[in-house]
Amino acid sequence: MNISSWVEGDLAILGGPKVVAEPAPELFHWPIVTQEDEDAVLDVLRRGAMSGWDVSLQFEQEFAAWIGSAYGLTFCNGTAALLGAMYGCGIGRGDELIAPSRTYWASVLPVFSLGGTAVFADVEEHSLCIDPNDIEHRITPRTKAIMVVHYCGYPVDMDPIMEIAERHNLKVIEDVSHAQGGVYKGRKVGTIGHVGAMSMMSGKSFPVGEGGIMVTDDQEIFERAIAFGFYQRHAEYLTTPELKAAAGLPLGGFKHRLNQTASAMGRVQLKYYDERTEKIRAGMNHFWDLLEDTPGLRAHRPPKGSGSHMGGWYNPIGHYLPEELGGLPVDRFAEAVNAEGAFCGRGINAPLHLHPVFNDVDIYHDGVPTRIAFSDRDLRQPQGSLPITEKLDGRVVGVPWFKYDDGERIEAYAAAFRKVALHASELL
């Protein structure tokens, strides 16, 4: 089947036939929960072991071995794992975290609860991840760490960032919430920085319900994260004298323990994760290969032959180039693709640096906005300060998240996008 035959005829939004006539929910079904997940969860329930940690310990060891890190630590959600990683890296009062602005808020916002603050760097136009060339000039004596986010699964260009971090004695935290199983130049993402932290929320590519996990080779980061948000199970892991002295009470006043029903599901999910993500990659790559020479659309994935690839391809997006489609706004494009029977959305987080929480809100009653209260200067970044980040509105499309490659139906979905792109002038 050649997709060119699908793109003839009028657009569905203008009264023509739909390209995707029959919806295919099984192509998108996620998470995959089988009898094996159910049995594992039921075992925890029947033993009344939800608040224990025997299953969590097993899951942490298996996950750490899978990703290739010395230590794993489970958390009640990804946000807590990121907070634990920030504290693990030594972020405290007055410290600055350099981060991208186009990300889910949990990559950045927890820094305020440590008395630290955020400095945003711009992103690269192709990867939509933090731009290694926009980091160094933002480093001050207060900078403690760099947060990188493998955004919508695209592996961050880690080598230059690790080099900058080493030169300035900074820690690098990887937010892997979109990217478990992704590879950067042959290495699994989450193992390249000093620590990786990630969500395992039900909708993410590694789903356990509500849950998070942190991985690291650094014993100090591991121990500090335990001391901060755990009070019981981990007393035996603390070797640093000042952390040991605090054992029994969590330094942060937080309780980060994961419900073991989620750990039980995580152990089962992990067994099938490589196989499932391989299938996702086959489906997604097939879709994008079919759209390769389509005007107005470009895949968001590392180039072939780069040694890097996507993981579970969470929240897949593409670049949208309205200038190649006579200026057709992305919303109108998406509406027309939806009318053809295929999902198409906007798919990108709003920039954090323009949100009131990072500009105006005085969270802790300091008399000034929190962003400034925890700094020695006004480091707010107004409209115009991050040009690439800001110009992305209207230049990204959310695309269907295929869970496997079934050939013909993937072709139909790709044809829906291609048809609208080739008929764009009729929508102007």
Ligand X SMILES: *Cc1c(COP(=O)(O)O)cnc(C)c1O
The reply to whether 69 sits near ligand X by the rule CB under 6 A is no
Q: Which is nearer to ligand X, 19 or 129 (CB)?
A: 129
The reply to whether 267 sits near ligand X by the rule CB under 6 A is no
Q: Which is nearer to ligand X, 110 or 341 (CB)?
A: 110
- Looking only at the bridges linking them, the beta strands covering 297-299 and 317-320 are antiparallel
How near is the Cβ of 123 to ligand X at its closest, in Å? 13
Give residue for tokens 């890190």: 69
How near is the Cβ of 151 to ligand X at its closest, in Å? 7
Q: Which is nearer to ligand X, 7 or 82 (CB)?
A: 82
The reply to whether 257 sits near ligand X by the rule CB under 6 A is no
Q: Which is nearer to ligand X, 105 or 237 (CB)?
A: 105
The reply to whether 106 sits near ligand X by the rule CB under 6 A is yes
Q: CB-side exposure of 210: number of CA atoms within 13 Å?
A: 8
How near is the Cβ of 104 to ligand X at its closest, in Å? 4
The reply to whether 201 sits near ligand X by the rule CB under 6 A is yes
How near is the Cβ of 411 to ligand X at its closest, in Å? 30
126 contacts: CB under 8 Å, gap ≥ 6: 319
Q: Which is nearer to ligand X, 171 or 178 (CB)?
A: 178
Three-state secondary structure along the chain? Answer: CCHHHHCCCCCHHHCCCCCCCCCCHHHCCCCCCCHHHHHHHHHHHHHCCCCCCHHHHHHHHHHHHHHCCCEEEEECCHHHHHHHHHHHCCCCCCCEEEEECCCCHHHCHHHHHHCCEEEEECECCCCCCECHHHCHHHCCCCEEEEEEECHHHCCCCHHHHHHHHHHHCCEEEEECCCCCCCEECCEECCCCCCEEEEECECCCCCCCECCEEEEECCHHHHHHHHHHHCCCCCHHHCCCHHHHHHCCCCCCCCCCCCCHHHHHHHHHHHHHHHHHHHHHHHHHHHHHHHCCCCCCEEECCCCCCCCCECCCCCCCEEEECHHHHCCCCHHHHHHHHHHCCCCCECCCCCCHHHCHHHCCCCCCCCCCCHHHHCCCCCCCCCCCCCHHHHHCCCCEEECCCCCCCCCHHHHHHHHHHHHHHHCHHHHC
Site for ligand X in 116-175 (CB under 6 A): 149, 175
- What is the maximum alpha-carbon separation in the chain? 74
Give the residue, chosen from 127, 199, 216, 263, that forms a contact with ligand X under the rule CB under 6 A: 199
How near is the Cβ of 67 to ligand X at its closest, in Å? 17
How near is the Cβ of 314 to ligand X at its closest, in Å? 7
Q: Residues binding ligand X: what is the number (CB under 6 A)?
A: 15
Q: Which is nearer to ligand X, 209 or 329 (CB)?
A: 209
How near is the Cβ of 320 to ligand X at its closest, in Å? 21
How near is the Cβ of 82 to ligand X at its closest, in Å? 6
The reply to whether 277 sits near ligand X by the rule CB under 6 A is no
Q: Which is nearer to ligand X, 194 or 419 (CB)?
A: 194
Q: Which is nearer to ligand X, 56 or 79 (CB)?
A: 79
Give the residue, chosen from 178, 300, 353, 418, that forms a contact with ligand X under the rule CB under 6 A: 178
Tell me the window of 75-83, 94-102, 235-243, 262-270 that interacts with ligand X (CB under 6 A): 75-83
- Dist. CA 290–CA 132, nearest whole Å: 31
How near is the Cβ of 396 to ligand X at its closest, in Å? 15
Could you give the string, one character per residue 334-373, with x where binding to ligand X holds by CB under 6 A and - elsewhere? ----------------------------------------
Give the residue, chosen from 56, 103, 308, 370, that forms a contact with ligand X under the rule CB under 6 A: 103
Give the residue, chosen from 56, 74, 101, 107, that forms a contact with ligand X under the rule CB under 6 A: 107
The reply to whether 78 sits near ligand X by the rule CB under 6 A is yes
Question: Residue 8 phi/psi, 5° resolution?
Answer: -75, 165
Give the residue, chosen from 177, 191, 269, 285, that forms a contact with ligand X under the rule CB under 6 A: 177
Contact between 95 and 87 under an 8 Å Cβ cutoff? The reply is no
Site for ligand X in 204-233 (CB under 6 A): 212
Q: Which residues bind ligand X (CB under 6 A)?
A: 77-79, 82, 103-104, 106-107, 149, 175, 177-178, 199, 201, 212
